[in-house]
Amino acid sequence: MKYKTYHVVTFGCQMNERDSETLAGFMEELGYSYEPDKIVAQVVILNTCSVRENADKKFFGVLGQLKHSHEENREKLVIVCGCMMQQQHIIDTLKQKYPWVDLVFGTHNIGDFPKLFKNVSEMHERIIDVWENSDTIAEGLPAKRMYDFKAYVNIMQGCNNFCAYCIVPYTRGRERSRKPAEILKEINCLAQSGCKEITLLGQNVNSYKGEEGGIENFAQLLREIDKIDGIERIRFMTSHPKDLSDELIDCFKDLKHLCHCFHLPVQSGSNAVLKAMNRHYDREQYLGRVAKLKEVCPDIAITTDIIVGFPGETEEDFKDTLDLVKQVRYDSAFTFLYSIREGTPAASWTNQIPEEIKHERFNRLIEVIHEIQEEEMKQFQDKIIPVLIEGTSKTDKSMLTGRTESLKTVDLPGDTSLVGKIVPVKIVKAQTFSLYGELVND
């Protein structure tokens, strides 16, 4: 085993990816270096997600894989953290079935990682330290960023919405916003070190609360970020439709660097289901917001999240979802089978939908989504569009891969010296899920 190496496994969303950058930053500060193989690494950190059952299952699968190497090497440390750890039933399972895990902590005390790590390395005794909530966000934590040219920037933590299916308000706690000055300082720093693209993260960025008399809300924060020299692309996620203000929509008209794409989770197209989900908007209001976005910014690419088979969803409700999808014509959509999350209101309802019906609806939904997506993608054929080159293609190492403003993947031939640059690309082939292009020399 190599000495002083670490590996972080990240499950789940961009928030977790960002937290893993902080954990990697701490490990580097402690003098550890990254090891790509989790079996070989001396310290393994599993940063967990709990949003659907699949994520739980994947975590226990990886944990099982680590047992043997942990037994073989007494010096190996296995650390688990993140959303799953905020749930008592998970802690109970870990205590009973995985007593060899060395350190367990939650989403609220990530800032204490160096102290916890020191204690567990010195004592060689298991530590479980999970806080129920917190009202602040730790500032000034290190980060080992995954890329130089693009970065996630957290602007807030937690969620106050309590959608009936969702575990996040229980695992991430109440909504807290970072101070505007801290956010701007971080982005200025990133820009100075060559970062071109920023994705602002929060469970519901539309309810960002700044400072009275200063930058008060999310739209105002965007306007300030737009002025930062060097930042060429600004993205954000996620937005709750109920809080999508006209002031934010106007940003798409006024700001130079705001990408013309919007992730606006609808979850369902049925008013009865939206009400049961506790979403606080109906389909008419949602469609109204979409119409306004398209009016202000005609080329905006709208994407969404949809849950299929929420308790009580009828065939009629589901048809309303299909109908809404056809009206909005999403650029792409993340589709999920409803998954029971222990501790959420909908988990205990008796009107659960049988698995086969959920799957059947899911397949019908993705068919409609893909049809629309294929048509939308064809519009790129022969167009010249700016692409941020991110690296070499996963499927063909001789090709480069990059992203358009609306996050579509483009593969093209070219030299790796272009990585991190935004270049004009002519699209020569447009398929449902990807685009192929050629560099345009200007």
- CB 169 to ligand SF4: min, Å: 5
Q: Please tell me the distance from the alpha carbon of residue 119 to that of residue 256, in angstroms, as a whole number.
A: 49
- CB 72 to ligand SF4: min, Å: 40
| Among the residue ranges 6-14, 35-43, 160-168, 370-378, the one whose residues contact ligand SF4 (CB under 6 A) | 160-168
339 binds ligand 5AD (CB under 6 A): yes
Print the binding letters for residues 197-226 with ligand SF4: x by CB under 6 A, - otherwise. Answer: ------xx----------------------
Q: Give how far Cα 284 sits from Cα of 64, 132, 170, 333, 368, Å.
A: 47, 38, 30, 19, 21
Query: What angle is formed at CA 436 by the lines to CA 431 and CA 440, rounded to 5 degrees?
Result: 140
Residue 307 touches which of ligand SF4, ligand 5AD, none (CB < 5 to 8 A by kind)?
Answer: ligand 5AD
Binder of ligand 5AD out of 17, 28, 243, 305 (CB under 6 A): 305
What are 247's two structure tokens?
Answer: 């002031």
Binder of ligand SF4 out of 235, 240, 289, 358 (CB under 6 A): 240
Q: Please tell me the distance from the alpha carbon of residue 22 to that of residue 141, in angstroms, as a whole number.
A: 7
336 binds ligand 5AD (CB under 6 A): yes
Nearest to residue 268, comparing CAs of 183, 335, 188, 184? Answer: 335
Residue 162 touches which of ligand SF4, ligand 5AD, none (CB < 5 to 8 A by kind)?
Answer: ligand SF4
Nearest to residue 254, comparing CAs of 219, 229, 287? Answer: 219
Is residue 238 reached through a cis peptide bond, with omega within 30 degrees of 0 on the bond before it? Answer: yes
Binder of ligand SF4 out of 9, 77, 94, 168 (CB under 6 A): 168
169 binds ligand SF4 (CB under 6 A): yes
Nearer Cβ to ligand SF4 (168/325) = 168
The SS3 of residue 47 is strand
51 binds ligand 5AD (CB under 6 A): yes
| Among the residue ranges 2-10, 35-43, 161-169, 296-304, the one whose residues contact ligand SF4 (CB under 6 A) | 161-169
Nearer Cβ to ligand 5AD (106/241) = 241
Nearer Cβ to ligand SF4 (158/420) = 158
- CB 27 to ligand 5AD: min, Å: 28
Print the binding letters for residues 60-99 with ligand 5AD: x by CB under 6 A, - otherwise. Answer: ----------------------------------------
Residue 171 touches which of ligand 5AD, ligand SF4, none (CB < 5 to 8 A by kind)?
Answer: none
162 binds ligand SF4 (CB under 6 A): yes
Instruction: Note the helical H segments in 124-217.
Output: 168-171, 180-192
Print the binding letters for residues 251-290 with ligand 5AD: x by CB under 6 A, - otherwise. Answer: --------------x-x-----------------------
Residue 348 CB neighbours (<10 A): 11
DSSP class of 207: G
166 binds ligand SF4 (CB under 6 A): yes
CB 91 within 8 A of CB 130: yes
Amino acid found at 185: K
What are 27's two structure tokens?
Answer: 């490990």
- CB 166 to ligand SF4: min, Å: 3
CA 26 to chain centre: 21
Site for ligand 5AD in 215-254 (CB under 6 A): none
CB 136 within 8 A of CB 176: yes
Helix axis angle, 315-328 to 283-296, nearest 10°: 10
DSSP class of 441: P
Residues 6 or more apart in contact with residue 81 via CB below 8 angstroms = 23, 45, 46, 47, 48, 104, 105, 106, 107, 110
Q: Please tell me the distance from the alpha carbon of residue 108 to that of residue 173, in angstroms, as a whole number.
A: 8
Residue with tokens 């969803």: 313
- CB 231 to ligand 5AD: min, Å: 26
Q: Please tell me the distance from the alpha carbon of residue 118 to that of residue 251, in angstroms, as a whole number.
A: 46
Residues contributing to the site for ligand SF4 (CB under 6 A): 159, 161-163, 166, 168-169, 203-204, 240
Residues contributing to the site for ligand 5AD (CB under 6 A): 51-52, 165-166, 265, 267, 305, 307, 336, 338-339, 341
